[in-house]
Amino acid sequence: MVSLGSLAVKPKQPDLTENLLSASIDPEDMFAARSALDAALNAKNGLRTVVWTNPETGAGGSFTSLDSKTAAGCKKFASSLRFLDGTATQTAQGMACLDNRGLWTIQNLAPIV
**Domains of the chain by residue range:** 2-12+22-111
Give the model's pLDDT for residue 54: 86
Give the single-character DSSP code of 19: -
| pLDDT tens, position by position, 73-89 | 889 999 988 866 556 77
Report d(CA 47, CA 54) in Å as an integer. 24
Q: What is the pTM of this model?
A: 0.73
| pLDDT tens, position by position, 22-58 | 555 778 888 888 889 999 998 877 678 999 998 888 8
Residue count of the chain, please give it: 113
Residue type (1 letter), 26: D
End-to-end CA gap in the chain: 32
